[in-house]
Amino acid sequence: MALPHQISSLSTAEKILLVEQIWEEIEEANPPINLPFTQEQQQEIERRLSLYKSGKTNLYSWEEVKKEWKNR
C-alpha cells in the first residue's frame, strides 16, 4: 500500500496513473449505481443534451469555469 509520504514524492503524472488504477479497481469491484431520475430531472437532461447536439449552448473548459468562479 502506498503511504502518504510515498504519494507526495510521486510526479503529477505518476499520481494520475495511481488514481486511474485505484478507480479501475473500484469500478471492477462495484457495479455502477443507477439512481433513478425524477421525470423533471430526465426532462432537464434531455433538454440540455438537445441544446448541446444542436450547437445552441456554450461549452466551457474546467479552467474557464474555475477562473470565472474565482472572479466572483
Phi and psi based region of residue 60 (left: phi greater than 0; alpha: psi -120 to 50; beta: remaining) = beta
Stated pTM of the model: 0.44
Instruction: Assess contact for 49 and 56: CB atoms under 8 A.
Output: no
pLDDT in tens, 15-43: 999 999 998 888 888 877 777 899 999 99
Mean pLDDT across 4-25: 90
Can you tell me the distance from the alpha carbon of 62 to that of 42, in angstroms, rounded to the nearest whole number?
24
Residue 18 buriedness (CB in 10 A; 0-12 / 13-18 / 19+): middle
**Residue 2 — very low, low, confident or very high, per pLDDT cuts 50/70/90?**
low
